[in-house]
A and B are shown apart, each in its own frame.
Chain A
Amino acid sequence: MAETAAELARTRPRPVSLTWLGVVPFMLFALMFLIVPATLLMIGAFQDPQGNFTLQNIANLNQPTIIRAYQTSIAISAASAFGGALLGFGLAYAVALGHVPRWIRPTMMTFSGVASNFAGVPLAFAFMATLGRTGLVTALLTSIFGINIYRYGFNLLSFGGLTLTYLYFQIPLMILIMTPAIDGLKREWREASSILGASTWQYWRMIAFPILWPSLLGSFLLLFANAFGAIATAYALTGSSLNIITILLFAQIRGDVLHDPNLGYALALGMILITGLSNGAYIWLRSRSERWMR
């Protein structure tokens, strides 16, 4: 022990302090704009307005409006993550292994890069112009097929409409994550399995899927967290008429409802827990899947 300490002291006399100094700005920034603000919220969730410890805020989450907001948020995030994962995987598979012309793949990847970042308010505008009451597709469906989708219960400003809108950035994100994973399926595995007499179904069930499932599940969780924290699209699309957790928190911060900041902290704590769990699981699954992707 003493020897190693002495050795350390001898080999790194001055540069040590200098080296550590180099990461100080980053650590300071992380503390000031990530860790402390988040921690303060989490502490606030367990305090009353006077600063005393209490579990009342957590208990106050048990209101029909709040429970329903969490439920709707989770349902929309799960639905858009599931749809995005399914369709995104289909497209990633098609461009990676589908024997389609070569130019399709780079085009699709570039477009995915753009579309996965095309979120927020403008995305809401695009879908209003498409599937809103006066949108182009709504109008075309009415005039050509005589189907007024709004008369059949479709509403862009609802669960289904928001899920459909979210898919616009969920699918591309899935394509971006899954294409490299599918590329990681080695040609030799497929050849070996077919030499041993496996059918395509058997190859997928016993080789490809077991290798891909951590990436698949992990991507689903990432997509879920991605949709769960989103607000701009939903807010621009529905105003505050749709009761999802981000819009509720937004209104709470603005001071429109609830009038209880500590309850707001509890709302935020619930959100951090949900996105934290799904992101944590994603990171764990990704490290598992990377074993095969070398």
Chain B
Amino acid sequence: MKRPVIGPWIAIIIGVIYFLVPLIATFEFSLRMKRGVYSFEAYRVVFGDPNFQASFTYSAVIAIAAILFGILIVVPTAYIVQLKLPRLRPLVEFITLLPLVIPAIVLVFGYLRMYNSSSWIPLTNSVRGTDFLLTCAYVTLALPYMYRAVDTGLRAIDIRTLTEAAQSLGSSWPRILFQVILPNVRVAVLSGAFLTFAIVIGEFTMASLLNRPAFGPYLQLVGANRAYEPAALAIIAFIITWACMGLIQLFGGGRQNATRR
């Protein structure tokens, strides 16, 4: 407090330069497609590319499927562990941390060994099967974030009282889960969902090794063959990530403030 606050400012200025310059440079680069003038030509080309539309749609569909499947697996488990089986908590938390320990490329290598065409469960034999495998792969990638979001959300509400109230009114278990508990943790579930979307939408390794026409492999292909479109795509990807995080803040932030006051 006695000392001047120059140090923190230096840190912040260096940080701002390091973080903003690549964004500015990328944006500037993306506008240079037409010789001599700035234009949004690269964006027009990208958005007009049928492969962009197809791969983005594909990845978005897989992402949404992964989010729904993830919710279906995580919410009941987190709920039961918190309410009935606290002894299982260390095990479940350990499992949800595993995707951070096992790199994605190793995991997909394991899938290729376990689900290849000559295995017991030849998921990679069919297109639908591989899509399902990719969806499960993305559920796995998002598991640490989804579980933590839902678990934190469940801790913030009184699930015991809610459950007992619902039970004494004669609710069945599925009804308690999906009509009582789920609506009460929807903020947490939504933030887990947006985070999943941000992680999964441009994912490259798994989609590429499973040979699916996803957005990540498309990005890589454009990057290897084009000059200005990659910059435009980087800006688009940054905006998508920003939108996902912004939505989390929008939902989560409002709620946090409400409970604190």
Contact = CB atoms under 8 A, between A and B. Distances in A.
A114 interface: yes
A95 B13 CA distance: 12
Given A229-B104, A236-B220, A117 B199 contact: yes
B77 A41 contact: no
Contact of B14 (A34, A87, A114): A87
A229 B103 contact: yes
Contacts of A265: 109, 113
Interface of B: 1, 3, 5, 7-9, 11-12, 14-15, 18-19, 21-26, 28-30, 72-74, 76-77, 79-81, 84-85, 88, 92, 95, 97-114, 136-137, 139-140, 173, 195, 198-199, 202-205, 209, 216, 219-220, 223-224, 230-231, 233-234, 237-238, 241-242, 244-246, 248-249
Given A125-B233, A136-B25, A34 B238 contact: no
B217 to A, nearest CB: 9
Contacts of A49: none
B76 A22 contact: yes
B7 A94 contact: yes
20 contacts: A22-B84, A26-B73, A30-B98, A37-B113, A38-B106, A41-B109, A87-B15, A100-B12, A108-B12, A113-B248, A114-B245, A117-B245, A121-B216, A126-B231, A129-B25, A229-B103, A231-B104, A231-B105, A231-B205, A275-B102
Contacts of B198: 117
B92 A268 contact: no
Contacts of B137: 33
B220 A235 contact: yes
Contact of A126 (B22, B113, B224): B22
Interface in A107-141: 108, 110-111, 113-115, 117-118, 120-130, 135-137
The A contact surface, by secondary structure, is helix
A95 to B, nearest CB: 8
Given A40-B114, A120-B203, A125-B26, A228 B11 contact: no
The B contact surface, by secondary structure, is helix
Nearest to B232: A125
B248 A19 contact: no
Nearest to B218: A121
Contacts of A41: 106, 109-110, 113
B99 A34 contact: yes
* Smallest CB-CB A-B distances: 8 pairs: A98-B8, A37-B110, A229-B103, A94-B8, A136-B25, A122-B237, A129-B29, A125-B234
A290 B231 CA distance: 42
Contacts of A121: 202, 204, 216, 219-220, 223, 237
A110 B244 CA distance: 11
Contacts of B21: 130, 137
Contact of A120 (B92, B98, B204): B204
A88 to B, nearest CB: 9
A114 B199 CA distance: 11
Contact of B114 (A37, A125, A228): A37
User: Which interface residue of A15, A90, A125, A167 has the most chain B CB atoms within 10 A?
Assistant: A125
A99 B103 contact: no
Contact of B12 (A20, A40, A91): A91
Contacts of B111: 33, 37
A167 B12 CA distance: 15
A253 B209 contact: yes
A135 B5 contact: no
B205 A232 contact: yes
Contact of B22 (A26, A127, A235): A127
A134 to B, nearest CB: 8
A29 interface: yes
Given A91-B12, A118-B238, A120-B216, A19 B107 contact: no
A236 B24 CA distance: 20
A171 interface: yes
B57 to A, nearest CB: 18
A272 B101 contact: yes
Interface string A188-220: 000000000000100000000000000000000
Nearest to B69: A29
B15 A34 contact: no
